[in-house]
Each structure stands twice: as C-alpha cells, then as structure tokens.
Amino acid sequence: MKSIFKKGEISPKFIAQSIENHQSKIQIGAHQTFMGQIRQDISQGRKVVGMSYTAQEEMCNELAEQLREELITKYDLSCIHIYHSLGYIKVGALCFFVFLSGRHRSNTFHALEECVNKVKSNLPIFGKEIYDDESYGWKSNT
Amino acid sequence: MKSIFKKGEISPKFIAQSIENHQSKIQIGAHQTFMGQIRQDISQGRKVVGMSYTAQEEMCNELAEQLREELITKYDLSCIHIYHSLGYIKVGALCFFVFLSGRHRSNTFHALEECVNKVKSNLPIFGKEIYDDESYGWKSNT
Amino acid sequence: MKVEIRFFGQLIEIVGSNTFELEITKLEYDAILTQLNNQMPSIKPFTIQLAQNNKIIQGETELDLSPIDVFPPFSGG
Amino acid sequence: MKVEIRFFGQLIEIVGSNTFELEITKLEYDAILTQLNNQMPSIKPFTIQLAQNNKIIQGETELDLSPIDVFPPFSGG
C-alpha cells in the first residue's frame, strides 16, 4: 500500500516533481492542489515555531486509499495524491499536500474540498504545536 | 501594472518558485492552486497537439488586478496570483496557473473556483487548437 | 468621424486584418455595431463583444474616439 | 482475557506509556471503554475514539483480540 507520509516538510521541489509526473497524462485538463503551511499562531502569548506530527500510519494509509477511490469515482477524476508530514515541521514549511487531476475543471473544486476536509476529520494524525519558549500544546481539528 | 502573461508554457519549476516565495509569509496557513493543462482532445478525427493563445493583454491585466482585489476582500485572503500563457503550448504543458493563499482553508475553496471561472469568462484571451494534420480550430468558453 | 477598430482572435483571420478604420456618424454603441456589421458582413455569424479603454462597452456606455476592440468568444484558461 | 491497548498523540503523555495490557471480561466496545476509564482515569477528560484492525469501532462492532488503538481528537492537515 502507498504511504501518504513523508518524514519532515513537503518541499516545493517535491510538488514540482509531482506536477511534472502528470504532464505525460494527456487526458488531463485540470489540476488542483491544496497545501497546508505551518502558520505562526500565537497561543497565550507564545509564538508557534513549528508543529510535530505523529499518526497511526497504517490506518491512515488504508483510509487515504479508500478516500482516493471513493472520490475518483464520485467526481470522475483521473487521480488523487495525498501527502502528510511526520515529525517536526517549522513555521512556513508545508505539512500537507493534496493533488488531484481530471479531464475538466468543474468536478475538481468540490472534490478538493471534500478530500481535504475528510483527511482532517477522519485520519488519525496528531499535531503538537511547539512554542518559542520550548513549551508545547496539542491541537484538535474538532 | 503586474502582467499575468508568460510567453510559452508555465513550468513546474516556476510553480515551485511561487510556492517557495510564500514560505516567509508566516500568517499563511493554506494555499490552493489551479493549473490548466493542454489536453489531447480529438476534434473531427484530428488530435490536438497544442494550443496557441493571444489576448488583449492590457485589458486582461486590468481585469485580473480588479479580480484579485475583489476576491482578496470578499474571501479574506492573503494574496492571489494569476498567470496565463501566450503563444504555442504543447499537449501536457501548463497554460494557466492560479495560486491563492489565506490564514485558514475554509475560504480558499470558493475563492479558487470563482477566480478560475471569472478569468475564463471575463478575460479577452483567445485559444486556437492546433491539430496533428497542421490544421487548427478556434475554441470558445461559452 | 473615424474610429479605429482592432480585431482579436479568430476575427483577425475572418476579416483578414488586425485593424480597420470605421467611418461612423454617431459615437454610440448601437451605431458602431450596425456600421461594423454592414462593412464587415463576415463577422455577422460571431457573438462579438466590444471594448474601449480596456472596458467592455454596451448600449449605454459613454464613448470617446479611442480604438474599439472587437472580441470573438473568450477561450482562455 | 487481556487485550493490548495502544495510545496515540497526547494520550501517550497523559498515560505515560505507549501501550498497556487491559484485563477485560467481555470482548465488547462498551466493556472495554468502561474498563479503560476505570483503570486510566487520567484519559477521562478526552473525547476519545477506539480502533481495531485499522477501523474505528463503535457499540455494535464485532471485535477480536487484536490491539485496540485509543485516539485523542485528530489534528492532521
């Protein structure tokens, strides 16, 4: 099974490579991406300097596989790729990357929103905010 | 005024550079992109091998500037970038790139759809399909 | 008076030229459109839009003597 | 019988361990949840979800003796 996880940040170079890999797929007319970037939030006077992610990886990979299949059928897409970081990711770096492609653009907008939201709500991934005073706090999507 | 036009295809490298330029903007939490790729359609038995674009460039740049301002305010975004190719673009290459960023993801989905649709319907850009027998045909978004 | 007409996209091929000097009697959208169709019957089959000073013009738009752009349907993106 | 419990995210810190052997009398979701809360009162404040064999389990799910995962709220993305 394909793993959605990458150790550390997702680089712009990796994203460029993903796009390039699809340029031989001549039936594709529209790509969309979502990228999550670590934001410098302020929590009780402390600045976020990074996030640290852990996950139940096997379960995430199974759920991501099901989600890809479900959305490709529902929205008549060519393909969907999902990537998420594990470990420490500093502010400004990318931790989440969804890339989907189809013949036409019309279906891809709703597909992207549904995919991003379902990854966030259904996959057992756990993010810890690291602050500038070396303390930390746990995040929750709910 | 900023020009949205690029001579020839929009390379994955250019897209990576655009993403990288936003990694110092620490208030951003979500990016989205739309990329239009030249599809190998079949028209009356002829294969599309590429597209050739022309435009009323000055008017497009003014309209794109207005659209950016309108959507940044409406959807509370950090920034929007719009790029479109001019000249010949071969099948599989990218001709259209919209890149928008905001603090949170929720607003970015509708903003992306609205931006892509308005560029297609409101900007005087003209695409000619080039076929494998060297003939060509004009496209229409309506 | 004369106004410069600029063609775009497929219209350049249909008309065989990028620009054209149109003789008009009134500086009004409807008058220009009618005169254009009369002098360039080959563009009649097209759903065209006109623009002046980088803005789409319609029946009520106040015009000046700047060039008029004639657009076939858009097909960017 | 005994079932292996695996903690994730913040729960590892709260409990002070990744795993734990839970003694249960019935192989049922409700029984496991009750027993877990009794033996690990520190996790009570959390809205937890349980999973087995990579699937979220609920009241009706049929269980086996594979490890049970205990998740705090998710925060990926």
pLDDT by residue (tens digit) across B3-44?
Answer: 999 999 999 999 999 999 999 999 999 999 999 999 999 988
Among A14, A77, A81, A112, pick the best mutation site for testing chain B contact (most B Cβ within 10 A): A112
Name the neighbours of B, counting chains with at least 3 Cβ pairs within 8 A: A, C
Question: B with C: 3 or more CB pairs under 8 Å?
Answer: yes
pLDDT averaged over chain A?
Answer: 96
Question: In whole angstroms, what is the distance from residue D63 CA to residue D53 CA?
Answer: 9
Predicted model pTM = 0.96
Q: Do D51 and A59 touch (CB under 8 A)?
A: yes
Q: pLDDT at residue A63 above 80?
A: yes
Q: What is the pLDDT of residues A11-61, one digit of tens each?
A: 999 999 999 999 999 999 999 999 999 999 998 899 999 999 999 999 999
Question: What pLDDT sits at residue B131?
Answer: 97
Interface residues of A toward D, Cβ cutoff 8 Å, are 36, 53-56, 58-60, 62-63, 84, 95-96, 116, 119-128, 138-142
D47 touches chain A (CB under 8 A): yes
Burial class (CB in 10 A: 0-12, 13-18, 19+), A142: exposed
With residues binned 3-state (H G I as helix, E B as strand, rest as coil), the percentages for chain C, rounded to 5, are 25, 30, 45
CB C49, CB C71: distance < 8 Å? yes
Alpha-carbon C18 to chain mean position: 11
pLDDT averaged over chain D?
Answer: 96
ipTM confidence: 0.94
C45 touches chain B (CB under 8 A): no
User: Which residue, A105, D9, C9, C17, is CA-closest to B112?
Assistant: A105
CB A22, CB A101: distance < 8 Å? yes
* Chain A residue nearest residue D53, CA to CA: A59
Element (H or E) spanning B62, and its range?
helix B57-75
pLDDT beneath 70: ranges in chain D: none
CB pairs under 8 A between A and D: 74
Phi/psi at D55 (5° precision): -130, 135
Q: Do A94 and B37 touch (CB under 8 A)?
A: no
Sequence-distant (≥ 6) Cβ neighbours of residue A127 within 8 angstroms: A51, A52, A53, A138, A139, D75, D76
Question: What pLDDT sits at residue A98?
Answer: 98
Q: Do A141 and D75 touch (CB under 8 A)?
A: yes
Which residue in the set B54, B120, B128 is minimally distant from C77, CB to CB? B120
Q: pLDDT at residue B142 above 90?
A: no
Q: pLDDT at residue A10 above 80?
A: yes
Question: D with C: 3 or more CB pairs under 8 Å?
Answer: no
Which residue in the set B22, B26, B37 is minimally distant from A28, CB to CB? B37
Chain B environment of C8 (Cβ under 8 Å): 54-56, 124, 126
* Chain B residue nearest residue C73, CA to CA: B140
Question: In whole angstroms, what is the distance from residue B32 CA to residue B78 CA?
Answer: 12
Q: pLDDT at residue C22 above 90?
A: yes
Question: What pLDDT sits at residue A1?
Answer: 84
Question: In whole angstroms, what is the distance from residue B24 CA to residue A38 CA?
Answer: 11
* Identity of residue D70: V
Question: What pLDDT sits at residue D38?
Answer: 94
CA distances (Å), origin D20, targets A138, B57, D27, D64, D75: 22, 67, 16, 17, 23
